[in-house]
């Protein structure tokens, strides 16, 4: 069975939670990031739903540690009978489910405050235990591979308890050629614990050790820069504030450019090592094979997006015109293109807005979503040492959890809808599917999250008659497509380039990575933007790159979810039922097939083109409204 390692669903790097929080303090502005003790309990997730005490966690840890060798009793027996295979699978599942639960508790607790060494120690221990288990279980795939296909099929047909694994074996046999000998698989499993260090080093540097400078906010206060506050400062109407935030963030990253390059080089070489060891044609192919995604889907995504760069550049030109500036910098592209109100959306209000927007998904979905939003499944606000960004994550035997860095802005409402989409997908999959199919593909995961964002956007647009408000929302929509599709394709192209460089023997250095990133950035934006030299280090800010070839799914997913949400809102026959079935399906079929059943074929460029044309339409409407006002 496939071990369920690190299945966190990380939100878009560009859709981070912003700053501050709703705390016991009554100060409207805090110069320092608050601590967890400042936050009211209803806005903090309840990890006691997983383990009520440290002793309980330790008890499960010791159980797994003492039983981790039990799997070895099946070594050399799998080719003898279907019953032996069933017994082995059951033993694996028993251990893996406990490992998953131990892991999620350790990592969520660590993410509350990455500065606490005891929390980091828990993640180290569970990672080491996972590695030990992977080594012990490494014989399973090679033994299954060595069973003649006709004999294996006979086992499956004659052993009732193996019927549930029909798709699992179909996927297994399709990838049989990439499975190595027992000893080779054991060695690769042993290497896993070492190779994970590249991501850990990057996280330690950028989260725990990095120190950002003090910068000025809109009130003239000197505040400590953070990831969340950086995003908020980029929304400032004052170009000096935006530039100051940019200089503070990127000058800091520039200091660590060589360290970041060395760390990323190691991560890419890890991917290339695994792909060569298993006999794939490339590391890109390796990342796509398990989900049965053709490499052409990745390449076609990049190619199709390049055909629609003019609407992106039109959007930048419109920004330049509205802002009334001669030179548009990339740090100017987050500020709203039109004047918005300073209205704040407290978290409680955001919850109700999201629930109202999700009504097209039916009463059961809304009821379950309400439970998720009101049962301490969410860690809401930014605090000192807390991991930046947002994600949803849950083990098979826990409810899903959501990490946010909520700051009362409209953007944060969309982040909430996004992560709730992930959580509902996890909730329904775990409720419906057996463990073997609960680990759904990222290719469909981001459909569930961006689908909810689409519903929220349509709800807000349908409930305003104010032209200015409509313009604000259209700008938000365009900005979202830019960040979720165009920017993620830009990232995907950089990942492809960096991996190809290593595969061709070209060293990854700070200079070569900086040049590669800037060349792609220049191709996307051309002469429309002034590309400051410091933007060359942007690649070092993207944590997603340490999970190779992941970001492209944001672009394919927003394309799929745009098409599906349009169909649901148009009340097309069976579409809602088919979409909800997908949310309950986990990995019981290949992701492209699940999406086909839901109503969209991602093996073709149609959905991508549809979304890019929608973007063009949105920008054109904005331009018309703005021109009419002038």
Write down the pLDDT at residue 190.
84
Res 582 pLDDT > 80: yes
The helix-helix angle for 552-569 and 487-503 (nearest 10°) equals 150
Write down the pLDDT at residue 235.
87
Q: Which residues of 60-78 are buried (b: 16+ CB within 10 A; e: fewer)?
A: bbeebeeebeebeebeeeb
Confidence of residue 232 (pLDDT cuts 50, 70, 90): confident
Is residue 332 situated within a structural domain?
A: no
Is residue 67 situated within a structural domain?
A: yes
Is residue 153 situated within a structural domain?
A: yes
Is residue 239 situated within a structural domain?
A: no
Cα 39 to Cα 473: distance, rounded to the nearest angstrom: 31
* pLDDT, mean of residues 395-412: 94
Among residues 461, 88, 16, 530, which one has the least CA distance to residue 323? 530
Res 182 pLDDT > 60: yes
Mean of all residue pLDDT scores within the chain: 91
Cα 161 to Cα 174: distance, rounded to the nearest angstrom: 21
Res 31 pLDDT > 80: no
Across 83-92, 253-262, 542-551, the highest mean pLDDT is recorded for 83-92
CATH number of the domain bearing residue 74: 1.20.140.70
Other beta carbons less than 10 A from residue 288's beta carbon? 20
Confidence of residue 26 (pLDDT cuts 50, 70, 90): very low
- Token pair belonging to 130: 């996972």
- Token pair belonging to 557: 């997913």
Is residue 365 situated within a structural domain?
A: no
Write down the pLDDT at residue 19.
28
Note the pTM of the prediction, 2 decimals: 0.83
Write down the pLDDT at residue 209.
83
Confidence of residue 202 (pLDDT cuts 50, 70, 90): confident
339 is known as an active-site residue: no
Write down the pLDDT at residue 32.
79
Paired sense of beta strands 378-381 and 401-406, if any: parallel
Write down the pLDDT at residue 21.
31
Share of the chain above pLDDT 70, in %: 95
Write down the pLDDT at residue 8.
36
Q: How many domains does the chain have?
A: 1
* pLDDT, mean of residues 436-462: 95
Q: Could you tell me how many residues make up the chain?
A: 630
Query: Hey, CA dihedral for 348, 35, 201, 517, is it positive or negative?
Result: positive
Paired sense of beta strands 391-393 and 9-10, if any: antiparallel
Residues spanned by the domain of 59: 36-195
Is residue 181 situated within a structural domain?
A: yes
Least confident of 234-248, 304-318, 328-342: 328-342
Res 29 pLDDT > 60: no
Cα 239 to Cα 256: distance, rounded to the nearest angstrom: 26
* pLDDT, mean of residues 297-313: 96
Pairwise pLDDT comparison (42 vs 336), residue with the higher score: 42
Write down the pLDDT at residue 1.
53
Res 589 pLDDT > 60: yes
39 forms bridges with which residues in the sheet? 23
* pLDDT, mean of residues 343-371: 97
Confidence of residue 208 (pLDDT cuts 50, 70, 90): confident
Write down the pLDDT at residue 10.
36
Q: What are phi and psi of 394, to 5 degrees?
A: -155, 145
The dihedral region occupied by 572, where left means phi > 0, alpha psi between -120 and 50, and beta the remainder, is beta
Say which of 185, 186, 382, 419 is annotated catalytic.
419
The 10s digit of each residue's pLDDT in 158-170 is 999 999 999 999 9
For tokens 């014989």, what's the residue? 139
State the burial class of residue 177 (Cβ atoms within 10 Å of its Cβ: 0-12, 13-18, 19+): exposed
3-state secondary structure 328-378: CEHHHCCCCCCCCCCCCCCHHHHHHHHHHHCHHHCHHHHHHHHHHHHCCCE
Is residue 272 situated within a structural domain?
A: no
DSSP 387: P
Write down the pLDDT at residue 517.
96
Is residue 333 situated within a structural domain?
A: no
Res 59 pLDDT > 70: yes
The 10s digit of each residue's pLDDT in 459-474 is 999 999 888 889 999 9
Res 428 pLDDT > 70: yes
Least confident of 14-18, 263-267, 323-327, 611-615: 14-18
Coil vs helix vs strand at 10 = strand
């Amino acid at each position: 069975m496939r071990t369920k390692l690190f299945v966190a669903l990380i939100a878009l790097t560009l859709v981070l939670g912003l700053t501050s929080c709703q705390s016991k303090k009554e100060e409207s502005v805090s110069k320092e990031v608050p601590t967890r003790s400042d936050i009211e309990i209803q806005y903090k997730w309840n990890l006691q739903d997983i383990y009520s005490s440290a002793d309980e966690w330790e008890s499960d840890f010791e159980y797994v540690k003492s039983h981790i060798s039990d799997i070895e009793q099946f070594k050399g027996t799998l080719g003898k009978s279907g019953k032996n295979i069933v017994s082995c699978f059951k033993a694996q599942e028993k251990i893996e489910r406990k490992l998953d639960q131990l892991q999620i508790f350790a990592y969520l607790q660590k993410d509350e405050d990455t500065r606490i060494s005891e929390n980091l120690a828990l993640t180290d221990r569970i990672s080491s235990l996972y590695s030990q288990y992977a080594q012990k279980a490494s014989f399973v795939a090679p033994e299954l591979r060595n069973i003649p296909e006709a004999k294996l099929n006979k086992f499956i047909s004659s052993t009732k308890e193996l019927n549930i694994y029909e798709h699992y074996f179909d996927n297994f046999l399709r990838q049989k050629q990439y499975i190595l000998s027992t000893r080779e698989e054991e060695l690769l499993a042993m290497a896993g614990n070492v190779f994970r260090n590249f991501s850990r080093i990057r996280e330690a540097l950028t989260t725990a050790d990095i120190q950002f400078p003090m910068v000025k906010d809109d009130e003239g206060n000197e505040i400590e820069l953070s990831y969340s506050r950086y995003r908020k400062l980029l929304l400032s109407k004052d170009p000096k504030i935006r530039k100051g935030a940019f200089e503070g963030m990127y000058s800091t990253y520039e200091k660590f450019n060589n360290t970041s390059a060395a760390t990323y080089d190691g991560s890419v070489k890890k991917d290339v090592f695994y792909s060569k060891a298993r006999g794939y044609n490339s590391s890109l192919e390796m990342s796509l094979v398990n989900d049965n995604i053709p490499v052409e889907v990745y390449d076609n995504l990049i190619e199709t997006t390049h055909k629609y760069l003019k609407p992106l550049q039109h959007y930048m030109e419109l920004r330049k015109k509205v802002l009334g500036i001669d030179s548009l910098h990339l740090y100017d592209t987050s500020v709203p293109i039109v004047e918005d109100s300073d209205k704040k959306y407290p978290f409680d209000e955001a919850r109700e807005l999201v629930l109202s927007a999700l009504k097209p998904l039916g009463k059961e979905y809304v009821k379950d979503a309400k439970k998720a939003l009101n049962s301490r499944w969410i860690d809401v606000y930014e605090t000192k040492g807390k991991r930046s960004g947002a994600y949803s994550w849950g083990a098979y035997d826990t409810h899903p959890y959501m990490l946010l860095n909520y700051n009362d802005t409209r953007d944060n409402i969309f982040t909430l809808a996004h992560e709730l989409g992930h959580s509902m997908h996890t909730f329904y999959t775990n409720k419906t599917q057996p463990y073997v199919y609960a680990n759904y593909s990222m290719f469909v995961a981001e459909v569930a999250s961006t689908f909810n964002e689409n519903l929220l956007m349509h709800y807000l647009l349908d409930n305003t008659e104010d032209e200015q408000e409509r313009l604000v929302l259209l700008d938000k929509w365009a900005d979202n497509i830019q960040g979720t599709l165009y920017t993620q394709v830009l990232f995907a192209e950089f990942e492809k380039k960096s991996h190809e460089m290593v595969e061709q023997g070209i060293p990854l250095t700070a200079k070569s990575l900086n040049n590669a990133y800037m060349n792609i950035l220049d191709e996307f934006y051309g002469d429309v933007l002034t590309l400051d030299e410091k933007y060359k280090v942007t690649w070092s800010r993207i944590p997603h790159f340490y999970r190779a070839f992941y970001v492209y799914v944001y672009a394919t997913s927003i394309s799929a979810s745009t098409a599906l949400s349009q169909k649901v809102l148009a009340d097309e026959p069976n579409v809602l039922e088919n979409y909800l079935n997908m949310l309950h399906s986990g990995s019981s079929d290949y992701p492209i097939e699940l999406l086909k059943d839901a109503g969209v074929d991602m093996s073709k460029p149609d959905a991508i083109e549809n979304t890019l044309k929608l973007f063009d339409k949105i920008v054109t409407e904005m331009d018309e409204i703005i021109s009419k006002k002038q």
